[in-house]
A and B are shown apart, each in its own frame.
Chain A
Amino acid sequence: MTLLEVKDLHVHYRTLKGVVRAVEGVTFELGRGEALGIGGESGCGKSTLAFALMKLIPPPGRIVKGKVILDGKDLTGLPEDVLRKEVRWKEVSMVFQGAMNALCPVFTIGDQLAGPLMYHWGMSRREALERAAEALEMVGLHSDMLRRYPHELSGGQKQRVVIAMAILLNPKLIIADEPTTALDVIVQAQIMNLFKKLKKELSSSLVFITHDLSLIADIADKVAIMYGGKLVEFGPAEEVFIEPKHPYTHLLLSSIPRIDRRTKLTWIPGTPPDLRNPPPGCRFWPRCPHAMDICKKEEPPMVELGRGHRVLCHLYA
C-alpha cells in the first residue's frame, strides 16, 4: 500500500544570482510502515526535498512543478491554512536537524508538547499533558521531564523530546532530517535504537535524511541517493548497498572509513555542481570515472532494473 507518492517534483530558489535548482524531477513512492533513507553530500537537495514533503520550503524557495501525494491528497495544491490545520503534524511531522535549537527555551517541555494536542485535537491542558507523558515514555524519558526547561536536558534527552513531539499526533509520515548529527556516537546508537523501536511499534512511515549512509543501512527499507538535485538511484536497501549501480553511489559507499577493516582510502575527486549552473548532460560526469561522450551531452534516462530498483545513468540505458 502506497502512502506517499512524489511525482516529478521541482523545487527552485529564486536568488539574485540566479535560480538554484535544488530539486529537479524527483519521483519516488513509499509504502505504509516503510522507512526510506535519503542520502547524498551537502547541497544535494535532500533537506529541501524533506521540507517540500511538508510544503514548508523557506522563501525564496518554491515548488515549481510536480506533486506530493500523501494518502491520496495532493499537498502541493492545498492552501496554507488547510495545510496547517489538517496536514502538518497531524499527517506529516518532522524531527528537525539540530534538536538542540528546535525547542523553545522559555517554555517547559510539557507546555511545548501539550500545544499541538490542544490545537489539533482540542484536548484540555490536563488531557494533553497526560498524552504528552505517554509520548515521553515511548521515547524512554520519565514524565518528570514535563516540568523541566530545555536547558536542563542533555543533548540526547532533547533529541528524544523532539522525537516525542513528532510522534505525538500519530502522524502517517515522520520525516527526520539529520536527527543525530550533533550527537556523540554512543548517544547516536541509542537514538537509532529508539527509531527502530518506534518503527516496530507505530505504523507510521519514516523518511530518514542523512549524509551518513551507514545510518541509512541501519534503518531503511528503501534508499534514495541524491546528487545535484536529482535522484540518481532508488531501490531496496539490500540491493543499493550490496550492489550499487550508479557510479556515484558506488564511490560514496567506498569512501566510508570502515571499522572492521583497514582499507586504502578512496574519495570522489572534484566538487559537487553549482546548482545555479549545473553541467550539461549528466550532473555527475565531471567526477565520474565511467563518463562517456553521451554523458556530457544528454541527460541520462531513469532506467528500471526490476524489483523497484532504478538508476539515472547512461551505463544501463
Chain B
Amino acid sequence: MSAPTKELLVVEDLRKWFPVRRSLADVLAGRERRYVRAVDGVSFTVVCSEVFCLVGESGCGKTTTGRLIVRALRPTSGKMLYRVSEEVLDALRALHVRLEGDSFVDLAGRFRGKADKLLRREVQMILQDPYGSLNPRQTIRDILEEPLIIHGIGGSRDERLELVVKALKDVKLTPPEEFLDRYPHQLSGGQRQRVNIARALLLKPKLIVADEPVSMLDVSIRAEILQLMLELRDVKNLTYVFITHDLAVANNICDRIAVMYLGKIVELGPATEVIRNPLHPYTKALIAAIPEPDPRKGRAIKEVPIKGEVPNAVNVPPGCRLHPRCPYAEERCRREEPELKDVGGGHLVACHLY
C-alpha cells in the first residue's frame, strides 16, 4: 500500500437531532420543541482500507451515524468530507459540484441527479437483518440486478446477468447459477447475508458501512462472513465503517475502534490499545461485561461498575453524559462536558479523569 494514512472520510462535529412530536397541549402551553439527540457532535477520520469500528449499546447513535454516512438521513449540522477518486472527481467538476479542498466532497450537502447517483455508488451499506433486507418476492437475480438498472450499468440483460453472476462468485455463492432463480426464503441466514454483501459491492463502492452484519447470525457462521468481508477488502480495496455492539467481534476484525455513548464518542483509538488498555469508565464496563467461554473465570458475581441503563436521548444529562451511572463521577463531571483529548498514540478519550 502506497499511502497508508490517506484519509477517506473526515467527519466533523456531526449532529442529527430528531424532533419529538408535540401534543396540542404542549403547543398551546408554549413548551419548547424537544429533540432526540441521536448523534450529537461526533468527529472522526476513516483512513483508506482500514476497518473502523463504531461500538456502543443500543441507542448510542451508532446506526444513525452509519445512515448519515450513506446519506439515508441528512444531518442537522456538521460535515462529512469524502475523498473521491480522480475519475469521479472529473465527472463531479463537469457537473459543477462544490468541492472541498482539492479532492473532497461534503456528503452532508444536497446533490441532485447525476452527481447524487455518482456519490451513492461510492458509499454503500450492508444491513443488519438478512431476513428483512431482501424483498421476499424477488429472486436473487432480480435483487442484484436492480442497482445495475437504476445506475444504468450494463447495457443489456445479458451483460447485467454476467455482472450478477460475478458478484455471486465474489461472495462465494457457488455455483452462481443455482442461486439466481431462488427466493430469499430458500436461503440460510448466512447465504442471505452474502447476497446483501454482493448487492453492496455491485456498484464498486470505495466505502462500505456495515451495520451489525453478523449480529443476527449463529456464532458458528459469523466468522465465515467476517473473513469474507476482510478478503473482499483486500481484493477490492475497500474501507469499512463497521458498526457493532460486540467488542469481541470488533477486537477480531477492526483496526481502530470508536466507542459511542448517548450520541458522543467517548473513546477512540487503535483496536488493540482500546481493548487492552481501556481508559474511559464506560469502555472498561463494556469490556468487563463480556462473558467468556471459560467456566473457571465465570461463576462468581461479576463487578460491572456502571449502574442502571442508558437514559433516554431526549433528556441528555448535563456535563459528562455518563455521570449518573459512573462510579468515579465528581462535581466537575456534573457541570462540564469533557472533550475528546489525545493521551498519546492516537488514543483519544473524553473523560475528566485524564
Contact = CB atoms under 8 A, between A and B. Distances in A.
Interface of A: 41-42, 154-157, 184-190, 192-193, 196-197, 211-215, 217-220, 237-238, 241-242, 251-253, 255-260, 262-263, 265-269, 271
Interface stretch (B4-12, B69-77, B155-163, B302-310): B302-310
A192 B220 contact: no
A-B interface, 3 closest residue pairs, ranked by CB to CB distance from nearest = A265-B223, A218-B298, A189-B289
A262 B252 contact: yes
Nearest to B226: A265
Interface of B: 57-58, 188, 190, 218-224, 226-227, 245-249, 251-253, 272, 275, 285-302, 304, 306, 309-310
Contacts of A42: 218
Given A257-B223, A267-B223, A154 B309 contact: yes
Nearest to A194: B301
Contact of A258 (B188, B222, B227, B251): B251
A309 B129 CA distance: 38
A190 B304 contact: yes
Contacts of A218: 291-292, 295, 298-299
A155 B248 contact: no
A238 B296 contact: yes
B75 to A, nearest CB: 25
Contacts of B301: 193, 196-197
A171 B295 CA distance: 26
A218 to B, nearest CB: 4
26 contacts: A185-B245, A186-B304, A186-B306, A188-B291, A189-B289, A189-B291, A193-B304, A196-B299, A196-B301, A211-B218, A215-B291, A217-B294, A241-B294, A253-B293, A255-B220, A256-B293, A257-B222, A257-B249, A258-B252, A259-B292, A262-B251, A265-B253, A267-B227, A268-B221, A269-B224, A271-B188
Contacts of A258: 248, 251-252, 292-293
Contact of B289 (A185, A237, A238, A256): A185
A263 B98 CA distance: 45
A193 B299 CA distance: 9
A214 B291 contact: yes
Contacts of A157: 309
Contact of B302 (A189, A217, A269): A189
A184 B251 contact: no
Contacts of B226: 265
Given A184-B58, A186-B57, A212-B291, 4 more contacts: A186-B309, A188-B289, A217-B293, A257-B251
A214 B247 CA distance: 14
Contacts of A154: 309
Contacts of B297: 217
Indicate the member of B219, B253, B302 with the most A CB atoms within 10 Å.
B219
A217 B298 contact: yes
Contacts of A156: 309
B272 A262 contact: yes
B223 A259 contact: no
Contacts of A41: 218-220
Contacts of B57: 184-186
Contact of A259 (B219, B287, B298, B310): B287
Contact of B295 (A186, A217, A263): A217
B290 A211 contact: no
B297 to A, nearest CB: 8
A218 B295 CA distance: 6
Nearest to A182: B58
A258 B292 CA distance: 7
Contacts of B288: 189
